[in-house]
Amino acid sequence: MAKLTKKQKEALSKYDPSQVYSLEAASSLVKEITMTKFDASVDVDVRLGVDPRKADQMVRGVVALPHGTGKDIKVLVLCTPDKNAEATEAGADYVGLDDYIAKIEGGWTDIDVIITMPNVMAKVGRLGRVLGPRGLMPNPKSGTVTLDVGKAVREVKAGKIDFKVDKFGIIHAGIGKVSFTPQQIQDNVKELILTISKLKPSSSKGTYFKSIHLSSTMSPGISVDKGSIQGI
């Protein structure tokens, strides 16, 4: 690891891994302890008291982040020709059907989100082997299988993200960039946490939010005090 400068050492000295911080303090601290020269992503990891192996405890959903993700999301719309203009006008990066299906079958996955229509899902379903492991498979629950492709594209471009609990009971989500203000980071985290809170499975017993950590691409994780987030 490169030698830390005096300024970097000073910033890291403000961080105590054994301490739990309020969301407000953590939102400022994550910016201070990030040393990258690029605009790093800010991520939140939420450990839930659920057993994802049980179908009724699979927590998944979508949230519109008030300040977006700060990322330029590349969107592919797989649709019938009559929807091409609508998808393009809404800001989709790639629009088509059979040509892109062939491209994906050939291994192309240089996209962040795929939006499609119910009537072409039979064709898109064939791509499950390629798209599934990369988390790119369109899903009606996350609003990416819809007849209203224009609206779906606009929502994704504006910062709508989908999330789901992994096999360890953790939700990982990118909620912004270190160039965001502390307030923007705080607003986005809060919106995500409140959305997850509403999705608590009725069969989940005990503590629902076990831990919340905020970090950037290269920073250590900051433990966030659940009590500092109103409404959960």
Lowest mean pLDDT among 9-13, 42-46, 223-227: 9-13
- The more confidently predicted of residues 72 and 209 is 209
**pLDDT on residue 223:** 97
**pLDDT on residue 7:** 73
Q: Supply the mean pLDDT for the chain.
A: 93
**pLDDT on residue 126:** 92
Q: What is the pLDDT of residues 85-134, one digit of tens each?
A: 999 999 999 999 999 999 999 999 999 999 999 999 999 999 999 999 99
Domain with CATH 3.40.50.790 in the chain: 75-156
**pLDDT over threshold 80, residue 8:** no
Phi-psi map region of 176: left, alpha, beta (phi>0 left; psi -120 to 50 alpha): left
Task: Enumerate residues 6+ apart whose C-beta is below 8 A from 83.
Answer: 77, 117, 149
pLDDT range class, residue 24, cuts 50, 70, 90: very high
pLDDT range class, residue 35, cuts 50, 70, 90: confident
Task: Enumerate residues 6+ apart whose C-beta is below 8 A from 145.
Answer: 115, 116, 117, 118, 121, 138, 139
**pLDDT on residue 2:** 61
Distance CA 210, CA 200 (A): 13
Share of residues in the chain with pLDDT > 90 (%): 81
CATH 3.30.70.330 fits 75-156, yes or no: no
Domain with CATH 3.30.190.20 in the chain: 20-69+161-228
**pLDDT on residue 94:** 98
**pLDDT on residue 86:** 97
Q: What is the pLDDT of residues 119-173, one digit of tens each?
A: 999 999 999 999 999 989 999 988 999 999 999 999 999 999 989 999 999 999 9
pLDDT, mean of residues 217-223: 90
Distances in Å between the Cα of 103 and the Cα atoms of 14, 106, 108, 194 are: 49, 5, 6, 39
For residues 144 and 115, the answer to whether their CB atoms sit within 8 Å is: yes
Domain at 20-69+161-228, CATH from 3.30.190.20, 1.10.3720.10, 3.40.50.300, 3.40.50.1370: 3.30.190.20
Most confidently modeled range among 11-15, 41-45, 51-55, 139-143: 41-45
